Chain A
């Protein structure tokens, strides 16, 4: 009964608003829909594992990269870990080409990571900075915020290149 009422409510709401502003639709619809739709809107964020596509946030030439192995970690890589990845999408003239197997350091992860003071941090997306086997970044610039967990992992070079340290 609650489900039918909620669906009726949402239909009315959508027809009124015309599907425009998210903020307007949210208030009347979510208050009634919350009970049945709450488990759908909760996104379970997990580790970065094989087949995870990550964004590349440096100017090494690659754009998207697919994880093929998370070094360290049975379940997968987290914020600050290194991964082996395959370049799926690249800029036409860059240092790395499509299909190349590279190492990368995860600098932004949607899964929350616990900090030493007990709080948790999470970012908006999954992003990686390409590095070589020694851990030195291939690119010369890093875009977006990076966490200061990298300092503990000894990725100081990435921190110096970063514009903003979260």
Chain B
């Protein structure tokens, strides 16, 4: 049993799923589902189709280089069965999967960080400049609650016991 990758979307094809198309030049194309197969028949280039891994990796949206990918390289030599090795491999697969997905989500988070900071900056600027659309400037001068004042609240360390027996 071997877990293949879909030619179009690069997702794993589990046994019992998908269609394998063998072209006359002996190139084998594996598809995970008919969506990918139909896109292939339409001669669409996966590198241009937004939801595929090929597109995402090409544009740097997903992680491309990582040491965890080395574990998934295709090996054509069958390994002699050893129970201990098999057990350790199964444990390692779980761990490596977790590490890889953590790193991938971190990559995406870092990528989106600059956008978040930019949006916050713009929001702050808009609040300062365009507050007159919401409330008249004269009214604003009297009522300062529409600004973002920095309120310092001193939290006292001692807890008050009075609040607790209220529900009884």
Contact = CB atoms under 8 A, between A and B. Distances in A.
Interface residues on B, range: 20 to 34
Contacts of B20: 119-122
Contacts of B45: 23
Contacts of B18: 119-120
Interface in A110-158: 112, 117-125, 144-145, 147
Given A112-B19, A118-B15, A118-B17, A123 B24 contact: yes
B16 A118 contact: yes
Contacts of A2: none
Contacts of B151: none
B51 interface: no
Interface in B9-65: 13, 15-24, 26, 28, 41-45, 48
A103 to B, nearest CB: 23
Given A118-B17, A119-B16, A145 B43 contact: no
B53 to A, nearest CB: 20
A19 to B, nearest CB: 15
Given A26-B43, A119-B16, A144-B24, 15 more contacts: A26-B42, A30-B42, A118-B16, A118-B17, A119-B18, A119-B19, A120-B18, A122-B21, A123-B23, A123-B24, A124-B22, A124-B24, A166-B22, A166-B26, A166-B28
